[in-house]
Amino acid sequence: MDAFLGTERNPLQVAVVGSGPSGFYAAEALLKSGQAVRVDMIERLPAPYGLVRYGVAPDHPKLKEAILAYQVIAQLPHFSLLANVNVGRDIEVDELRAHYHAIVFACGAEADRRLGVPGEDLAGSHTATEFVAWYNGHPDYRERSFDLSAEVAVVIGQGNVAADVCRILAKSVDELRATDIAQHALDALAASRVREIHLIGRRGPAQAKFTNKELKELGELACCDTQVDPRDLALNAESLAELQSKANYISAKNVEILRDLAARALGGRPRRLLFRFLESPLELVGAGRLEELVLVRNRLEGSPFQQSAHSTGETARLRCGLLFRSIGYAGVPIPGCPFDARQGIFPTRDGRLVDATDAVIPGLYAAGWIKRGPSGIIGTNRADSVATVKSLLADVPSLPSGAKAGSAGLAPLLAQRAVRAVSLDDWRVIDAHEVARGEPLGKPREKFTRVAEMLGCLDGGAVSQR
Ligand code: NAP
């Protein structure tokens, strides 16, 4: 008879798919649960840390300090990293199920939502996802190029990702040089001719999704004036009611910050950031590439906290050559897992994956953005992952208790498929190379931006280029 699951004789083998914040917080909760647990963190890129490495803006080094906590988690006994292994391509979900008692999907939201307007795919129109991943050195986006020769750029959406994009466009390269921004991005930004950035929200100032610090920062740019039209701050009664709610203190503070900005005179800086509210893109127009954006004026309809944007029919045209849609991320499906395409998430109940009939799929769990959608800050994922792990641990008595091999079971499959898994020690080698490359440039690191370059640091540089 098998020993009880979760004991030293029969440890619970868990695969955590994804190495961003939610993956690390799930690993921590499992490894500190008091049960005998082995956690293998499986990551498709050779480098861990997900959006902290490839999403957090390079000029926000404090936020990247979350990695210090993840390094501590990675040192907990019974934690292993299997990076450069793509679940759904290199290893099937069913193969994982054969070698693990439970799988926690913490694979984030890698795709983006679409605007659904004509001209969206014109040259010069991009998703913020692509731009952010490109300037952060993500290998999948290494070959992208962004034509920064236009003087007028537009960012659609008023969340923190839009704020990041605006700052990167608005800052001088001297302000970015000492960050871990990818060199190819720094070179392209050095030649940028962008002078005017329009940051456009479909709803009003009271509904903007920025957090206070990020909004405030947009008013403190060294080389860019920030312009807010005071007329936009004449709020409707429903918005004023929203701001009265104690729980809505972030929006109330945002409006206060915007009022300060509106009262300020422009400072003659070389670039200008213009906040625009209550406008939606109707069409992107151009002969082969973006030349003009057609916008429609909106009005808000609905009761407080239920207000949505509705067209007034009044249109405006804006000449522009560069546009970023920053309207939220969406998860991508993995073969073998249920997927809610409308919301871009894995459907779950209390962190447990459920199938099309709403029945729980034993042993499969989700945490973070692939579970709840792209919301919250890094720390939000901690409670989310802890809640999922709580469900997982509660299920242990009902999980099949037969011993599972974990990574030892995957090794022959990976070898057969010529997949070079990157361990924690391997990652430390790559990491040290990146830090050393950054040193002469005065940067915290110069990231490798190609998978082959990262793998080239290992095995005496004799790794095949996959
Ligand atoms: P977000 O905060 O959800 O903002 C999305 C924005 O897009 C909203 O203004 C939304 O307006 C707008 N939008 C959505 N659909 C639209 C459409 N069809 N047309 C026009 N506008 C549309 O998303 P995000 O900026 O991608 O950020 C994702 C999460 O990461 C957030 O929780 C954010 O705080 C976090 N993050 C944090 C930091 C940081 O802490 N520094 C940095 C980056 C990201 P509506 O409100 O009208 O829907």
pLDDT digit string (tens) for the chain, length 466 residues: 567 999 999 999 999 999 999 999 999 999 999 999 999 999 999 999 999 999 999 999 999 999 999 999 999 999 999 999 999 999 999 999 999 999 999 999 999 899 999 999 999 999 999 999 999 999 999 999 999 999 999 999 999 999 999 999 999 999 999 999 999 999 999 999 999 999 999 999 999 999 999 999 999 999 999 999 999 999 999 999 999 999 999 999 999 999 999 999 999 999 999 999 999 999 999 999 999 999 999 999 999 999 999 999 999 999 999 999 999 999 999 999 999 999 999 999 999 999 999 999 999 999 999 999 999 999 999 999 999 999 999 999 999 889 999 999 999 999 999 999 999 999 999 999 999 999 999 999 999 999 999 999 998 764 443 3
Structural tokens at position 317: 């045209």
pLDDT at 461: 66
Residue 311, SS3 per DSSP: strand
Same-domain check for residues 98 and 158: no
Query: Residue 72 contacts by C-beta under 8 Å, 6 or more apart in sequence?
Result: none
Ligand 1 neighbourhood includes 215 CB (under 6 angstroms): no
Q: Please report whether residue 220 resides in a domain.
A: yes
Is 400 within a domain? yes
Based on the fold, state whether residues 262 and 126 are members of the same structural domain.
Answer: yes
User: Residue 391: helix, strand or coil by DSSP?
Assistant: helix
- Which residue of 130, 198, 209, 380 sits with most ligand 1 atoms within 8 Å of its CB, as the best mutation to test the pocket? 209
d(CA 108, CA 102): 18
Enter the tokens of residue 222.
Answer: 């060294």
Cα–Cα distance measured from residue 327 to residue 156, given in angstroms and rounded to the nearest whole number: 7
292 close to 286: Cβ distance less than 8 angstroms: yes
Inter-residue contact 232 to 204 (CB < 8 Å) = yes
In the reported structure, the alpha carbon of residue 452 is separated from the centroid of ligand 1 by a whole-number distance in angstroms of 33
129 Cα: distance to centroid of ligand 1 (angstroms): 12
The C-alpha atoms of residue 383 and residue 370 are separated, in whole angstroms, by: 15
**326 Cβ below 6 A of ligand 1:** yes
**Residues 101, 126 share a domain:** no
| Boundary (domain end) residue, out of 327, 350, 372 | 327
Long-range contacts of 396-401 (CB under 8 A, 24+ apart): 396/5, 396/6, 396/12, 396/35, 396/101, 397/5, 398/362, 399/5, 399/12, 399/101, 399/102, 399/362, 399/363, 400/101, 401/2, 401/3, 401/4, 401/5, 401/10
pLDDT at residue 181, as a whole number? 98
The DSSP 8-state label assigned to residue 345 in this structure reads B
Residues 118 and 210 in one domain: yes
Query: With a 6 A CB cut-off, is 207 part of the ligand 1 pocket?
Result: yes
Does residue 427 belong to any structural domain of this protein? no
Say whether both 185 and 122 belong to one domain: yes
Same domain, 293 and 375: no
| Beta-carbon count within 10 A of 111 CB | 14
**Distance from residue 159's CA to the centre of ligand 1 (Å):** 4
91 with 127, same domain: the answer is no
Which pLDDT belongs to residue 442?
95
Locate 264 and state its tokens. 């300020």
Which ligand 1 atom is at minimum distance from the Cα of 157? 7
CATH number at residue 24: 3.40.50.720
Q: How far apart are CA 61 and CA 53, in angstroms?
A: 10
Would the CB of 157 count as within 6 Å of ligand 1? yes
CATH number at residue 229: 3.50.50.60
Domain assignment present for residue 430? The answer is no
Last residue of a domain, one of 296, 327, 358: 327
On whether both 155 and 260 belong to a single domain, the answer is yes
Residue 316 lies in a domain: yes
Residue 182 near residue 447 (C-beta atoms within 8 A): yes
Alpha-carbon distance 228 to 211, whole Å?
A: 17
- In the three-class reduction of DSSP (H, G, I as helix; E, B as strand; rest coil), residue 154 is classed as strand
301 and 337: one domain?
no
The answer for residues whose C-beta is within 8 angstroms of residue 250's C-beta and 6 or more apart is: 211, 212
Domain count, the chain: 2
Tell me which amino acid residue 215 is.
Answer: L
340 and 302 in one domain?
A: no
What secondary structure letter does DSSP report for 336?
Answer: T
Answer yes or no: do 220 and 121 share one domain.
Answer: yes
Amino acid identity, residue 374? P
Among 327, 346, 369, the domain boundary falls at 327
Q: How far is CA 286 from CA 200, 290, 327, 379, in A?
A: 20, 5, 22, 42
pLDDT of residue 349: 98
372 lines ligand 1 (CB under 6 A): no
pLDDT of residue 459: 83
Who's near 365: CB < 8 A, 6+ residues apart? 102, 103, 104, 105, 348, 351, 352, 353, 388, 391, 392
334 and 322 within one domain: no
CA dihedral for 387, 392, 396, 397, sign (positive or negative): positive
Model pLDDT, residue 374 = 94
Ligand 1 contacts CB of residue 159 (under 6 A): yes
Q: Whose CA is nearest to atom 33 of ligand 1?
A: 160
Nearest Cα residue to atom 18 of ligand 1: 115
Lateral strand order in the sheet of 308-319: 279-285, 292-301, 308-319
The vertex-409 CA angle with 16 and 421, nearest 5°, equals 60
- The tokens of 236 are what? 């409707």
| DSSP bridge partners of 181 | none
Residue 369 among known ligand-binding residues: yes
Angle at which helices 21-31 and 380-395 pack, to 10 degrees?
40
Q: Is residue 428, in this structure, part of any structural domain at all? A: no
Please indicate, yes or no, if residue 445 is contained in any of the structural domains. no
Q: Output the pTM of the full model.
A: 0.95
Q: Using CB atoms within 10 Å of the CB of residue 398, give its burial: 0 to 12 exposed, 13 to 18 middle, 19+ buried.
A: exposed
Domain of 406, in residue numbers = 12-110+330-422
- The conformational region for residue 335 under phi > 0 = left, psi -120 to 50 = alpha, else beta, is beta
Please work out, in degrees rounded to the nearest 5, the angle formed at the alpha carbon of residue 111 by the alpha carbons of 110 and 114: 155
Q: Atom 3 of ligand 1 has which residue's CA nearest to it?
A: 328
**435 found inside a domain:** no
